[in-house]
Amino acid sequence: MPEMPESKDPTSGHEPKALVDTTPSTPRFPKPKILVVDLKDDTEALLKAGGYTVEVGSFGTPYKVPKDNSYRPVVAEFNIPNYAEQEIIIIDLLPADTLEQPPKENETVPGEYDHWAKCNYGVVDPRPVPMSIYRSAFDKILMHGGVFIVFADFHTYLEIIYARQTRNGLSPVRNKRYDNWSFLTPLHWSRFGTNFVEGSEISVPNQTHSLGKLLSRHLKGATFKCTLAPKQNIVDENQIYFENHHLKAWRVMATDKYGAPVAGVFVPHGEIKGWVFIFPQLANKSRFLVEFLRDVLTELAPELFPYAEGGQWIYRDTYQLPSVLEMREQIQRIEEEAAEKVKVIEERIRLEQERTAYLRNLLIETGDPLVKAVKKALETLGFKDVLDMDEEMVKQGDTGPKREDLRVVSEPVSLLIEVKGITGLPTDADSLQVQKYVIVRMREWSRTNVQGLEIINHQKGLPALDRENENPFRQDILVNAEDQQFGLMTTWDLYILTRNFLKNNWKPENVKGLFFQSGRIQLVPAHYEFVGTVEEVWGKASAVGVRIEAASLKQGDRIAFRFPTDFEEQEVTSLQVDDQSVSVAEVSTLVGIKTHLANQQIKKGIRIYRVTDSAH
């Protein structure tokens, strides 16, 4: 079988056809020569407006094909103008919208070699073919000090073969691994990998340098399609001169919430004089690029910008008045002082999170850690002598039958508590466990003032607000709890009570009685009196319309809005009925109330309570 020819090199006479005929106006800066590839915004216009020399190219666009196991010729309509002389190459790897059909007719000649793609996904991405064609030219640019700026997308690998068509099928055939990062050797799949992770939480660990500051300013609305992973073990691609350029040259610029890189740079190293910057999908790439070229790259690669400074030399420190230099020093001192203050506040945050870790554990733990978190929450709410019965049995050397998880005996009614963490919704066995302990203790203590409470961390694998919080217990479980007079509660309920106890300075007597209810524990503290519900929201006026349902409301009353996580309290400073100010709103009235709360917080149906006794 004859050897399969390598991908056609542009220098061999295979010149791509231009997609568009553009004749840019004369730029102010002849250098650097900038190539913009597959960006879908106003980058070209903004860079040209800034005086840069810019050309636009494309590696092509994915297109649909019939979905089957056959191979079809790759229809690669691409355009990389003046490729050998470009100095800054900007590439967006996120593909354009998939075409409904190939962009042009297939030009494959029977008997001639061509690229063929397998059609098992119903889509052909032709971009890796021209990428492989231009890779050697791009490598040369990087070697000699060029800059590559890449907006990342997840690696995709394509089954593409190089073959010729005969009467007996495709022959000869050799598979070659193609991917959508193969335009540059340091980014080829053999050296550089990505992990398919999408998200929008991005942080810049180092904001002391100009690039870190710039990137952090442009993170609003940014997303990442992958995390970045330069490979430890290099697959030999016969590109020896890149060996020393790999991990030694890699620097992380930004990470996701777990510390995985989502932006990074290969800095010049050894014989490699150029830079490779990899960024996530920024919301406004064009604005970022203008600032990046103007404020950052001119510092990192000044040899590429021989004309960039122009008249800007007058702003160097050498030519500044002492008063200006003093103000710059003031800025630096302020930034340093702010950084120190941020460190102090971050340490306070760490300590506060450590002190209140039990609140988080209420929502994520099971077993003994969950029991301890419930115990701490009850103590925070004012319960005395909350006993962990497993610990008590160990202290007493009691090896008898298991007892309830927690016990509160300092109240007029003894409270027995069972605690569970489960992945689904509570079953009968989960919900009725505590009642057997209540019966045993009544007999043991010869008294009936014993109450049971089941506290369950349900659907613990889900974020708390995504769980079934409205009706986590089946109706027959609620009926049993009412009949047998014990309480049911989720750890989300306990979390809300404890959070608002701390936030609103409630008193222990406001909440302790709730734990002795039968059935589903209601989360309204004793000093809250139901007034009505929100029927209208007037955003521009920062007011809400509340239907008074249970008790009259007057100016000077303190009220609380019941949100999914918090009770937000405020004083009633004005009441309006039919656009007239009133001092009292009676039952059945729709009354307008001014509020300081953000408009997006308030929705129709939110319940309003009067705060009858508080620490305020």
How do residues 186-208 score in pLDDT, each as one tens digit?
888 778 889 999 999 999 988 87
Residue 344 and residue 471 in one domain: no
- Which position has the token pair 């008063």? 323
Residue 44 and residue 189 in one domain: yes
Rounded-to-integer distance, Cα 536 and Cα 616, Å? 28
According to the model, what pLDDT value does residue 173 have?
61
Query: Residue 316: inside a domain, yes or no?
Result: no
Residue 151 and residue 88 in one domain: yes
In which band, very low, low, confident or very high, does the pLDDT at 603 lie, cut at 50, 70 and 90? confident
Query: Residue 317: inside a domain, yes or no?
Result: no
Total domain count for the chain? 4
In which band, very low, low, confident or very high, does the pLDDT at 5 lie, cut at 50, 70 and 90? very low
In which band, very low, low, confident or very high, does the pLDDT at 614 lie, cut at 50, 70 and 90? low
**Range from 105-109, 135-139, 152-156, 352-356 carrying the lowest mean pLDDT:** 105-109
Query: Residue 18: inside a domain, yes or no?
Result: no
Query: Residue 616: inside a domain, yes or no?
Result: no
In which band, very low, low, confident or very high, does the pLDDT at 469 lie, cut at 50, 70 and 90? very high
Structure tokens at 356: 């209140």
Apex 282 CA angle, 343 and 256, nearest 5: 45
State yes or no: pLDDT of 430 exceeds 50.
Answer: yes
* Burial 345-355, CB ≥16 within 10 A → b, else e: eeeeeeeeeee
- Which position has the token pair 């222990």? 508
**Range from 244-248, 252-256, 321-325 carrying the lowest mean pLDDT:** 244-248
Rounded-to-integer distance, Cα 567 and Cα 296, Å? 47
Residue 507 and residue 476 in one domain: yes
**Range from 80-84, 229-233, 531-535, 569-573 carrying the lowest mean pLDDT:** 229-233
Apex 507 CA angle, 504 and 511, nearest 5: 95
Residue 283 and residue 244 in one domain: yes
Task: Give the mean model confidence (pLDDT) for residues 389-401.
Answer: 87
Residue 43 and residue 81 in one domain: yes
Rg of the chain on CA atoms, in Å:
34
Domain interval for residue 600 = 528-611
Residue 346 and residue 303 in one domain: no
Residue 461 and residue 585 in one domain: no
According to the model, what pLDDT value does residue 263 have?
96
Task: Give the mean model confidence (pLDDT) for residues 156-172.
Answer: 77
| β-strand pairing of 53-57 with 113-118 | unpaired
- Nearest residue to 558 (alpha-carbon basis) of 489, 488, 613: 613
According to the model, what pLDDT value does residue 172 have?
58
* List of long-range contacts for 184-188, beta carbons under 8 Å, 24+ apart: 184/135, 184/138, 184/139, 184/142, 184/148, 184/276, 185/135, 185/139, 185/237, 185/239, 185/242, 186/142, 186/242, 186/245, 186/246, 186/266, 186/276, 187/150, 187/276, 188/135, 188/237
According to the model, what pLDDT value does residue 244 have?
43
Task: Give the mean model confidence (pLDDT) for residues 365-387.
Answer: 95
Tens-digit pLDDT profile for residues 257-280 = 999 999 999 999 888 899 999 999
Residue 168 and residue 57 in one domain: yes
State yes or no: pLDDT of 111 exceeds 80.
Answer: no
With beta carbons less than 8 A apart as the criterion, state whether 582 and 591 touch: yes
Reduced to 3 states (helix: H, G, I; strand: E, B; else coil), residue 342 is helix
Query: Residue 8: inside a domain, yes or no?
Result: no
Residue 336 and residue 382 in one domain: no
Query: Residue 22: inside a domain, yes or no?
Result: no
* Distance between start and end Cα atoms, the chain: 89
Rounded-to-integer distance, Cα 15 and Cα 473, Å? 70
Instruction: Name, of 7-16, 188-197, 338-347, the range with top average pLDDT.
Output: 338-347
Residue 425 and residue 571 in one domain: no
State yes or no: pLDDT of 234 exceeds 60.
Answer: no
User: Phi and psi dihedrals of 536, rounded to 5?
Assistant: -135, 150
Structure tokens at 227: 């995390």
Query: Residue 444: inside a domain, yes or no?
Result: yes
Task: Give the mean model confidence (pLDDT) for residues 147-162.
Answer: 88
Read off the pTM.
Answer: 0.54
CA 476, chain centre distance (Å): 40
For position 565, which CATH number holds? 2.40.30.10
Query: Residue 15: inside a domain, yes or no?
Result: no
**Range from 228-237, 411-420, 546-555 carrying the lowest mean pLDDT:** 228-237
